[in-house]
Amino acid sequence: CSPKAQFELQEIPYESLEVKEKLGSGASGDIYKAYSKSHGEEVALKLFKGAITSDGYAHDEMNATMSTGEHPNLIKVLSKLAGDERLGLVLEYIPDIYRNLGLPPDFETCTRDTFAEETTFTPESILEVAKGIASAAAHLHARGVMHGDLYAHNILINDDDHCYLGDFGAASFYEPHRKEFERIEVRAFGCLLEDMLSLCPIKEGTIYTMLEELREKCMNEAVEERPLFSEMGF
């Protein structure tokens, strides 16, 4: 584990939550809208399906999520459930004006995300997503956390192109000086850029050219030549 990892977090009883509708479901657990009496506000509650899921150990995901710290492009972790009866995290509630940037891969794309039919992106929108995700990733890697699943389907976006990077089910810790680990994630960022640029009908102009050049650098087969997130010049 990274020495910067911080696992201490306020614990609240499940009974202090008024659980409402389900917001979504993933490999490791289900997310519900809830009202927290402890926080005096609406929150999102992630309940893990068990101690071990297809994403790995629930405690590992919880530790990674709790170690992310605060950043404008990361969903804030408020507390965790007390006791061992239920494993869960209480998160900042993200309003439904946010939607998933992409959809998970399918059997045809295998390792690449899919997108709703007729999805298009402007160069300006791609740039805003790139700025936000690169900033969040730089923040995580400075703390020795590798997201491990940097895909469009793990990104929420609104109509103003503000985005959140979520889902730490595949996250892991490493020593921050081992920059080769960060450069692995940089390649995933390059794939994200490539997917979005492929859906951009305007394949010209200063912004498009800059993003295409960055994509190429991020996907460089010479790993040591890929830029770090903090070096991308946004």
CA atoms of 81 and 148, how far apart (whole Å): 25
Average pLDDT over residues 21-35: 88
How many residues in total does the chain contain?
234
Which residue type is seen at 147? H
> For residue 56, is it left (φ>0), alpha (ψ between -120 and 50) or beta?
left
pTM over 0.85: yes
**Per-residue model confidence as pLDDT tens digits over 168-201:** 989 999 998 999 999 999 999 999 999 999 999 9
First-last CA distance in the chain:
30
**Per-residue model confidence as pLDDT tens digits over 208-225:** 999 999 999 999 999 999
Distance from the Cα of residue 38 to its chain's centroid: 26
* Per-residue pLDDT at 62: 84
Burial of 160 (0-12, 13-18, 19+ CB in 10 A): exposed
DSSP-derived letter for residue 60 is H
Average pLDDT over residues 29-37: 93
* Per-residue pLDDT at 1: 42
* Per-residue pLDDT at 169: 86
> Mind listing the domains of the chain with CATH numbers?
11-92 (3.30.200.20), 99-231 (1.10.510.10)
* Per-residue pLDDT at 4: 43
The answer to whether residues 214 and 130 touch, using CB atoms and an 8 Å cutoff, is yes
* Per-residue pLDDT at 121: 97
User: How far, CA to CA in Å, does 173 sit from each of 3, 143, 146, 177, 178?
Assistant: 9, 9, 6, 12, 11
| Lowest mean pLDDT, pick from 31-40, 53-62, 153-162 | 53-62
- Which pair of tokens denotes residue 28? 């490791």
Long-range contacts of 149-152 (CB under 8 A, 24+ apart): 150/185, 150/188, 150/189, 150/192, 151/102, 151/104, 151/105, 151/113, 151/188, 151/192, 152/100, 152/101, 152/102, 152/103, 152/113, 152/115, 152/192, 152/195, 152/196
**Per-residue model confidence as pLDDT tens digits over 64-107:** 888 899 999 999 999 999 987 788 999 999 999 999 999 988 89
**Per-residue model confidence as pLDDT tens digits over 110-137:** 889 999 999 999 999 999 999 999 999 9
> For residue 101, is it left (φ>0), alpha (ψ between -120 and 50) or beta?
alpha
* Per-residue pLDDT at 56: 60
Q: In the predicted model, is pLDDT for residue 26 greater than 70?
A: yes
Q: What pLDDT band is residue 143 in, cutting at 50, 70 and 90?
A: very high
Q: In the predicted model, is pLDDT for residue 8 greater than 90?
A: no
